[in-house]
Structure 1
Amino acid sequence: MTDIFDVIADGTRRDILQLLLRHMSEGETGTSVSQIVADLGISQPTVSKHLKVLRDAELVSVREDGQRRFYSLAVEPLGVVDDWLVPFLVDAYGDAAPDIDYPGGPLPDSAAHAAEVVGRAAASAKHVVTSALKRFGG
């Protein structure tokens, strides 16, 4: 499998992922190649090349409808990036970590607070255990 960090290191691929995220948050069930070309102002062959890389990394899924293909974001593989990044945020900010602007639909306040508390606790616990294991040669 391709290293996820190599895949998202390319600015055009990040632009495509952000576009797919925005369309998904607007309720769309897939975005056509022609829509990606129009929205980003890049050539169809370039978009197709980058979509192949994103497909191979399982960051997008594709649905065929006749001759057209519709792409959707698959966020699960980004968990690797999240797992790598969270300890840095916990070390740098602790409980004062900045809020992350997510363009998805808003959560109710109680659900957002619960998700934040659980997420920070899990990240902190994982970091503590990982650090302890490293200190003790585990």
Structure 2
Amino acid sequence: MADIFDVIADGTRRDILQILLDRSTAGERGTSVSQIVHELGASQPTVSKHLKVLREAHLVSVREEGQHRFYSLSAGPLDEVDEWLVPFLDDVAAADEETVAGLPDSAAHAADVVGRAAASAKHAWENAWWKRNGR
């Protein structure tokens, strides 16, 4: 099996995982390849190639109905990423608490709001750019 970090290093595969997460949160039991192709704006062979890698890494499961395949997120393998990442987040959180502790409450709140807005804007811009220019 491929290293989970190699699997999720690819932006298209992360986008596919996000699509599957969004659709499962919306209550759907699976997402067809054609739906993923439509949302990504990628070719069917490209999406199928990435789905195969995700399947082999056990990050997605597939349900077949006739000639159609429906994919669902299987987030269990991401536990390895979580276990590796959490110590770093704990260190960053501790450093942030020390920095914020020296600020007045209103300034700390403003910094948090601005930081979240900047991260959201960056994410939206990157997604729009990739959709327009392709991967």
TM-score, normalisation: structure 1 = 0.68
Equivalent residue for 2:130?
Answer: none
The CA distance in 2 between the partners of 1:36 and 1:48, in whole Å, is: 10
Which aligned pairs between 1:1-138 and structure 2 lie closer than 5 A?
A: 1-94=1-94, 96=97
Q: Which runs of 5+ in 2 are unaligned?
A: 98-111, 117-135
Aligned AA (2:93)? Y
Question: What SS does structure 2 have at the residue aligned with 1:16?
Answer: helix
- Encode CA deviations 1:34-58: one digit per residue, 9 max, x unaligned: 0000111000000000000000000
The CA distance in 2 between the partners of 1:80 and 1:24, in whole Å, is: 21
Aligned AA (1:20)? L
The CA distance in 1 between the partners of 2:47 and 2:71, in whole Å, is: 11
Considering only aligned residues, what root-mean-square deviation do their CA atoms show, in Å? 1.6
Note the C-alpha offset of 1:92.
1.4
Aligned AA (1:77)? P
The CA distance in 1 between the partners of 2:11 and 2:90, in whole Å, is: 26
Aligned length: 98
Percent sequence identity over aligned pairs: 71
The CA distance in 2 between the partners of 1:30 and 1:90, in whole Å, is: 34
**Structure 1 runs of 4+ with >2 Å offset:** none
TM-score, normalisation: structure 2 = 0.70
Aligned AA (2:47)? V
Name the one with the larger helix percent: 2
The CA distance in 1 between the partners of 2:36 and 2:92, in whole Å, is: 36
